[in-house]
Amino acid sequence: MSVPSAEAPVLTAHRAGLVGCRSCGRVWPEAETTCNRCGSTLVPPDRRCLNAVWAWLAAGFVFYIPANLFPMLKTSTFGGLRGNSEATILGGVVELMHYGNYGVAAIVFLASIVVPIGKFIAISWLALVAGRPATVQAAHKRLRLYEVVEFIGRWSMIDVFIVAILSALVQLGFVASIHPGPAAVSFALSVAFTMLSAQSFDPRLIWRGLPLRSRKDHE
């Protein structure tokens, strides 16, 4: 809480032989296992958390595959006379572009293809380089990336909501009806698992590899 300066050497709780609570900020001796103030588990910033990160990420990836192979939406128009169509995620984007809805196509493409794949790459990279030495600039960049992944992860669920709204609303009997496909479930699970993966990642690991100039400072 002193004046911020990028160059000031920093003493971390871990270096001082203490452990900080990640949910309320209280500092405890390293031997403590639960925070006495907020009751959450105290975890030292080490690579153990990466096991959970990789496990959730793998689960998320496994469910992302059927999410792309199976249909997301089943549409039938004029009682099937104008055709029944089953659209996968990518198929839906192509269809939207075909009808000239470029804006919506771009949003769906972003939310259900670019963001999930980008998240898989970003979390894998963060987990791979975690704890490796980095410059201060690199550490700031990684933390920025982590914050983006954490923020944007839940927004992928928008696709599941769109499917739910469309299938609840477009029930016009003979004229047109839309039903959800099995991909909706696997997509929802994939998003949930990647959210858990991002939550398991301990951002304090990003800073572990930083060179330290002195043990005591800014006091």
Partner 1 sequence: MQTEGEYDLSTGAGLIACPRCDALHVERELEPGETARCVRCNTVLASPRAGAFTRIIALSFASLVLMVGAVFFPFLEISRMGFGNQTSLFGVALAFSHGALMPLTVAVLGMIVGLPVLRALLLVYTLLPLARNRRPFAHAVPAFRLSEALRPWSMAEIFVIGTAIALVKVAGLANISLGPAFWAFCGLILVNAASNVFTSATTIWDAIEDAGMATDGREIVPETRA
122 half-sphere exposure, CB direction, 13 A CA radius: 24
- Rounded distance between C-alpha atoms, residue 163 and residue 185, angstroms: 11
Nearer to partner 1, 68 or 194 (CB): 194
Question: Residue 211 Cβ, how far from partner 1 at the closest point, in Å?
Answer: 13
Confirm or reject binding of residue 101 to partner 1 (CB under 8 A): yes
Confirm or reject binding of residue 52 to partner 1 (CB under 8 A): no
Question: Residue 194 Cβ, how far from partner 1 at the closest point, in Å?
Answer: 12
Nearer to partner 1, 68 or 72 (CB): 72
DSSP-assigned letters across all residues of 111-156: IIIIHHHHHHHHHHHHHHHTTS---HHHHHHHHHHHHHHHHHHGGG
Amino acid at 133: P
Confirm or reject binding of residue 53 to partner 1 (CB under 8 A): no
User: 61, 72 in Cβ contact below 8 A?
Assistant: no
Question: Residue 117 Cβ, how far from partner 1 at the closest point, in Å?
Answer: 19
Helix (H) or strand (E) holding 54, with range, is helix 49-69
Question: Residue 90 Cβ, how far from partner 1 at the closest point, in Å?
Answer: 16
Residues 180-209 interacting with partner 1 (rule: CB under 8 A): 180, 182, 184-185, 188, 195, 199, 203-204, 206-207
- Rounded distance between C-alpha atoms, residue 214 and residue 9, angstroms: 7
Residues 132-191 interacting with partner 1 (rule: CB under 8 A): 139-140, 143, 153-155, 157-176, 179-180, 182, 184-185, 188
Residues 18-47 interacting with partner 1 (rule: CB under 8 A): 18-29, 36-40, 45
